[in-house]
Amino acid sequence: MEIRVYDDEEEWFRSIFANSRKEDAIQNQYEFFVQRMGGPPLYSQRKGHPALIGRHRPFPVTHQAAERWLYHMQQALDCIADIDADSKIKMNNFFRHTAFFLVAGNELKNQNQGIACKHGTSKPTAV
Ligand code: HEM
């Protein structure tokens, strides 16, 4: 999946990942999805709470970006023969739900730009 987004033919989408190292992104995604799909909490052991909205704060997670991200996830899943159809549907539902949760977070961030957070911190919010 990471290889797909870093090689996307759409420059606007590829550029969102331009400042992140592919090796780090692969490790982040691997550990997060192992944990989120019910495996050992690899991601949180290394990095703490996923805090996805806060950690995506630097990136323009627009509706269009979410659709492109979901397209790559779908393609990646379609290439794996040994995941049953029901699990693929469940994973796709989770991806879509979370992607649009991040789009909503991105829209809130844009609305609040210039307004100081009442807690006066720029740390990622645990969500
Ligand atoms: C909707 C469009 C999305 C875009 C454009 C996007 C973009 C990015 C980018 C540029 C990074 C930094 C790469 C890295 O260093 O790991 C990142 C990190 C990450 N993303 Fe996304 N993402 C999207 C959706 C999602 C969704 C839906 C999930 C979960 C289901 C997710 C999970 C993660 C995780 C776990 C990290 C690592 C965070 C960290 O440890 O700093 N992303 N994303």
Contacts of 34 (CB under 8 A, 6+ apart): 40, 42, 43
Q: How close is the Cα of 28 to the center of ligand 1, in Å?
A: 8
Q: Residue 126's pLDDT is what?
A: 62
Please write the tens of the pLDDT for every residue from 52-109. 999 999 999 999 999 999 999 999 999 999 999 999 999 999 999 999 999 999 999 8
20 CA: nearest ligand 1 atom = 15
Please write the tens of the pLDDT for every residue from 66-82. 999 999 999 999 999 99
Exposure string over 86-113, b if 16+ CB within 10 A, otherwise e: eeeeebeeebbebbebbbebbeeeeeee
Please write the tens of the pLDDT for every residue from 8-44. 889 999 999 999 999 999 999 999 999 999 999 999 9
* Interval 1-14 mean pLDDT: 87
| Matching residue, tokens 């740390």 | 123
Predicted TM-score (pTM) of the model is 0.89
Name the band, by pLDDT with cuts 50, 70 and 90, for residue 117: low
Question: Residues lining ligand 1, CB < 6 A?
Answer: 16-17, 20, 24-25, 28, 32, 47, 50, 52, 55-56, 59, 61, 65-66, 69, 95, 98-99, 102
Assess if CATH 3.40.50.300 describes domain 2-111: no
* Interval 102-120 mean pLDDT: 82
Q: How close is the Cα of 40 to the center of ligand 1, in Å?
A: 19
